[in-house]
Amino acid sequence: MLIAVRAEVEDINTWREGFKTHGDLFKSQGVSTAFMGASDGNSVIAVFETDNVDEFMRIFNDPATAEAMANDKVIGGVELFVLDETFTP
C-alpha cells in the first residue's frame, strides 16, 4: 500500500537531510521504500510503500514522529493520503 504525506517545511534541503536519518522509524512502520519530492516553494511530499497501514498510522500519530518532523523543520500543512485505488488508462 502507498501512503503520501505532504507538508510545508522551513528549508527543503534541511528536510531532505533530516528525512534520510529516520530509517529505523520508517522500517518500524513497515516501510520498504520512500519517495521524496519538493515544489518550487517549501512544499514537500513523501510517498511511502508499506506492508502494514495500521502500524504506519499508529506510529505516524506517535509523539516520536512529531519530534522527527520538528527536527526536519516541518512547519505545518501536514496532510496524509492513503493511496487505496489505482487506475490504468
Read off the CATH number of the domain in which 17 is found: 3.30.70.100
Q: Determine the Cα–Cα distance for residues 41 and 61; give it in Å rounded to an integer.
A: 26
Q: Is 48 among the domain residues?
A: yes
Which residue in 15, 23, 13 sits closest to 78, CA to CA?
A: 15
Grid cell digits, residue 20: 534520510
Distance from C-alpha of 66 to C-alpha of 63, rounded to nearest angstrom: 5
User: Is 88 inside a domain boundary?
Assistant: no
What is the residue range of 75's domain? 2-83
Q: Please state whether the predicted TM-score (pTM) of the whole model is above 0.75.
A: yes
d(CA 26, CA 79): 17
pLDDT of residue 40: 87
Q: How many domains does the chain have?
A: 1
Strands 2-9 and 74-83: antiparallel
In a domain, 60, yes or no: yes
69 by Cβ neighbours in 10 Å (0-12 / 13-18 / 19+) ranks as: buried
Can you list the residues of the chain whose pLDDT is less than 50?
none
